[in-house]
Copies of this chain bind each other. A is one copy, B any other.
């Protein structure tokens, strides 16, 4: 598995190897020379990105100073091929060339990426993105087969790898920090509890979970709230891990982990919950998801969907979509309503936990860096850099407001057994 993965990464990340040797040997002067046309194109590219406050250093050693009155970091472009890839498609090229170690960042990587996100003209980003990225985003319908392939790509690269930087319970979604100084383990438990409280789970109730990851939420609901769970996931490794945990904790009688697509879920439940799956569903399948909820939720049932989102419909960052999360697309709120409105579900509460995801990612990135040597033993250098960029870039995206985190609570229209206020969610 790891071998297959690392080869795929190496191939995807390094591109045409012959045009981009690392500059270790002296080269003929002409090949090394930076042409003024290249510098002009680079300046235009920086302008199109809103001139982020970055100094650029080219392979011949010359430096192009930030046009802002400060500089957040220095970006080293190590060769002509990297420069041309960057100019041709900055959003894709940066990731590819960073991963291949042909672009390096001197200074804080997260700050550098946040500066890029913040400088980028938002409207154009959305508009241009929609046109440029149509082939990569949403065009490919997440059929059950493709969904399986997509999920396999990310989640089946080895539980041991995820254990290096996730919390003890392997919760791979935004945590909830009632106090930002809280540790990650505590904040993930707080998130599980927060979700259960938002759903108003009562002992003996049945819950349908779609996209259950390594099973932490399902096990938590069964163990601490007395729920009977049916939890779906199409990641082989995650399901195997979740089943083992259920057995070990003696919860296998009340938690059923099913390796199947959410679209095949059946039965009648008191609650529906999905934490961190919607990003992978694809907007065109929201109606199908709504149908599943409508089919499975009792009249008195409550639902909660927790998902990465956007302030407006936008395609996924292409490098992430191509290399990290194939088929993924975080929705805007208007897109999320396509799950609820056709079936007349009533949205009760939407909470944006964006900064909690930034905080979660701070913890993950810190743990990742602390375990970087072990990661390097498991994967090749391209993988190590790709995942650093993915974690740092996600942190920057949440900090800068490029990404949101929505928790949406809902129930059936006209159901009046709802809490009078939200005070019950807060420890008073």
A residues at B contact (CB < 8 Å): 117-118, 122-123, 177-178, 180, 311-313, 332-334, 337-338, 340-342, 344-352, 354-355, 399-402, 404, 413-416, 418, 420-423, 425-428
Contacts and interface: CB of A to CB of B under 8 A. Distances in A.
Contact of A349 (B338, B352, B402): B352
A355 B416 contact: yes
Nearest to A402: B414
A351 B349 contact: yes
Contacts of A349: 350-352
Contact of A348 (B122, B341, B352): B352
Given A311-B340, A347-B352, 12 more contacts: A117-B414, A178-B421, A311-B341, A332-B341, A346-B352, A351-B422, A399-B416, A400-B414, A401-B413, A422-B426, A423-B427, A428-B428
Given A337-B334, A352-B348, A420-B180, A118 B401 contact: no
A415 to B, nearest CB: 7
- Give the dominant DSSP class at A's interface: mixed
A346 B338 CA distance: 19
Given A401-B415, A426-B428, A420 B177 contact: yes
Contacts of A344: 122-123, 311-312
A395 B131 CA distance: 47
A373 to B, nearest CB: 33
B414 A342 contact: no
